[in-house]
Structure 1
Amino acid sequence: MVTAPTSPVTCPQVITDNMFCAGYLDVPVDACSGDSGGPFVVNYRGTWFLTGVVSWGEQCAQRGRYGVYVRLANFLTWIQDTMERAHLNATDS
């Protein structure tokens, strides 16, 4: 993941608080077309956490450019509420 001051240099489009940039500047590795909606995971102390969702980028694996991801933490309340409603609807049937 990239800190905000770095992002505008390598992510020229508007990056909102609901997004983050990630990737490698010197290594051509990135999400590509067809990957949108896929997971961005982080390993913390041996446990994998889903922290983002592939959103967009400029071309694929372009040196000097990061991929852009949805910042999942900003949507946790909505996700939990939606899952709870879906569960309640399923048990009512």
Structure 2
Amino acid sequence: MPGLPLKPLLSSIIIVLTLNACSINRPQTVIVETPLTAEQIIQQNPDNPFFAPYNTVYQIPDFANITSEDYLPAFEAGIAELQQQISLIANNKQAPYIC
């Protein structure tokens, strides 16, 4: 580009980059939801066949009475139970047992 002074162009680029950098560093509000425990999920879904005792021949769920909506709460309860167990292990302050 003939005749275009370089100094104003560089000044404009620096100003734009500076303003962009200032907008990136703004603190953001983060909403952290407290995860439900397995017991709370089970209490919220009392009719879920996965949470009832299995009164079948081989003590397995009665799949004839299970709908597709019953699976997600069961998975969530299982994951919550495992996360609780992991948390207990990770936060254990006792010295490790050495054979």
Q: Same fold (TM over 0.5)?
A: no
TM-score by length of 1: 0.27
Name which one, 1 or 2, has greater alpha-carbon Rg: 2
TM-score by length of 2: 0.25
Counting helix residues as a fraction of each chain, which structure ranks higher?
Answer: 2
Q: Which has the higher strand share?
A: 1
